[in-house]
Structure 1
């Protein structure tokens, strides 16, 4: 679908200049842009590649001299990356499913309720008592369990799984392979286990006898509030007694593990391969970098940032930026890294001093 430069600028509440009636059919990086593409040259360094492509129009940073760049038209935006959110929404062709169509191979229990305009893809399964809100899309090979509730305007991509009694608010997006509502990893031994003793004493297990683990069943479920997005192959476990809760507008990347009983605040950002052990609580606006992890029964305050690879084993107050393992304030951790890099030189200096002392103060 083609859009004029003027139309795009109006939708983004941005300024358009030049031949604003030029129509574009897609977006591209400057060097790859064709004549009908809108080049995304949102920093001066990116604009240097405009000459390698054929773009007639580009999205540029505020104050850019678009004419000097050889363009016929331009859209200038004060926050280019934010403008990309609106632009990509306009240009997104979607997954190609016709709205309101239920594929004949889908299996839908007679006791399920589908709202107006619900789309159901091939080989999807919707179980008894499930309720699907108006305008939602249940993609190919998806599963919606008994009594699950899917809000209006949700999108379940290919192979997403929503277990029994799970609740999804409005506008929730599940990427391919996401699993919402698997049982929590909860087991207990008849007698005090070796690992329980280790946690109490911080000593070796010794000759502790092995015991069989009894399963603690998960009676709770999962509630994803409005606007939550969950990445591909991410798993969110149901609660033991109460629900696991993901706060409104929280965005979760691919390959993330969220354990039973966890609660996140609103507008959190949890990056790829991060992990929350059971009963972790996150405040609002928490950012967890890739491969970061939080130990069980730990509370992370609001506006906390965990840099990539950070491992948290104790509570973190509001507003802290944490790094490393065990996690400490980022500025402290960076100082520690500096000291580590200097250790070789320090050891060499100490060895030289010992040599001098042993020689009675005479240096070589």
Structure 2
């Protein structure tokens, strides 16, 4: 079990140490659940009230907060407790599952596939014709990578992930369990006789940049033609839908149960809240935020925050909600 002194952790965080504890710290934990061998985190004033009753021997806190450490307890003051928490969590992060062999004998790898140095391919994986894996790629058991797909260095695909044909995946990406990349876009038209639906072929692909992370059970559909694009550094939560021909800029965030309809364009740094829905052929410009549960029907300007269904500028929507509450009380 890993354990560190408070001085070792403070040296790592380069913070200001207040107080002292002789307790060896064996892991991080939230305030209410912490034991005396845990370090915890206080990022805002609303959590200060829990510190006195917490059993944690130490806490990382924002440097603008005023808290007394107490007997045999210590505080590490930092500029941003959330970022410091990420550093601490990484320190205590358990190792990933180990591969007994780099390439499991049950994996099916086409003879034309190119496998880079240091790749690990788990049991029952499938790697198709003319696939190219860069160095250090990890495919956990039951991952499928279909024909003519390329995957960059040190990308990880967890079990159940399916990457369809002709996709282009960047380096240092993480795809969590059961991610679907490159499935058909949802395209149908009524038949001439009005008695059925005609499927529109989806002949494009998906291009995913570097350092992209996609959560479990999320889907990125291939384009009808050209490419569905997810830009460098995007972070996508579980159960997210990205439809055909959508384009995401760099470092966008999409929270769980949100979705982009076809041909949506996001600029850089766009934030989409949970369960938000974006209408097809809509553009959301760089730095904009869409509140949770919102339905975006029109373009959103750069830096703007929108709320509601249909989504409107945040201040205007909040005024409407206040007015409606007042009417309901009459």
TM-score, with normalisation over the residues of structure 2?
A: 0.90
| Per-residue Cα deviation, 1:324-347 (whole angstroms, up to 9, x for no partner) | 12221111111222222233466x
- In the other structure, the counterpart of 1:341 is 325
Are 2:190 and 2:197, in contact at CA under 8 Å, matched by a contact in 1? yes
Q: Tell which deviates more after alignment, 73-82 or 240-249.
A: 73-82
Find out whether 1:326 has 2:310 as its counterpart: yes
Secondary structure of the structure 1 residue equivalent to 2:39: strand
Distance (whole Å) between structure 1 residues aligned to residue 152 and residue 69 of structure 2 = 50
Distance (whole Å) between structure 2 residues aligned to residue 117 and residue 100 of structure 1 = 11
Q: How far 1:146 sits from its partner (Å)? A: 1.2
Mapping 1:20-59, distance limit 5 Å: 23-43=24-44, 45-50=46-51, 52-59=53-60
Q: Tell which deviates more after alignment, 318-327 or 66-75.
A: 66-75
Unaligned runs of 5+ in 2: none
| Per-residue Cα deviation, 1:155-195 (whole angstroms, up to 9, x for no partner) | 2122111111112111111111110110111123455xxxx
Secondary structure of the structure 2 residue equivalent to 1:232: coil
Find out whether 1:269 has 2:253 as its counterpart: yes
Distance (whole Å) between structure 1 residues aligned to residue 329 and residue 66 of structure 2 = 51
Mapping 1:243-322, distance limit 5 Å: 243-322=227-306
Mapping 1:1-364, distance limit 5 Å: 1-17=2-18, 23-43=24-44, 45-50=46-51, 52-62=53-63, 68-98=69-99, 101-191=102-192, 210-344=194-328
Distance (whole Å) between structure 2 residues aligned to residue 274 and residue 257 of structure 1 = 7
Are 1:298 and 1:314, in contact at CA under 8 Å, matched by a contact in 2? yes
Secondary structure of the structure 2 residue equivalent to 1:188: strand
Q: Tell which deviates more after alignment, 31-40 or 158-167.
A: 31-40
Are 2:18 and 2:69, in contact at CA under 8 Å, matched by a contact in 1? no
Are 1:97 and 1:119, in contact at CA under 8 Å, matched by a contact in 2? no
Are 1:47 and 1:69, in contact at CA under 8 Å, matched by a contact in 2? no
Q: Tell which deviates more after alignment, 210-219 or 228-237.
A: 210-219
Distance (whole Å) between structure 1 residues aligned to residue 329 and residue 97 of structure 2 = 62
Q: Tell which deviates more after alignment, 153-162 or 209-218.
A: 209-218
Are 1:264 and 1:284, in contact at CA under 8 Å, matched by a contact in 2? yes
Larger relative helix fraction: 1
TM-score, with normalisation over the residues of structure 1?
A: 0.82
Cα separation, partners in 2 of 1:136 and 1:290, compared to 1, 3 Å: same
Q: How many residues align?
A: 329
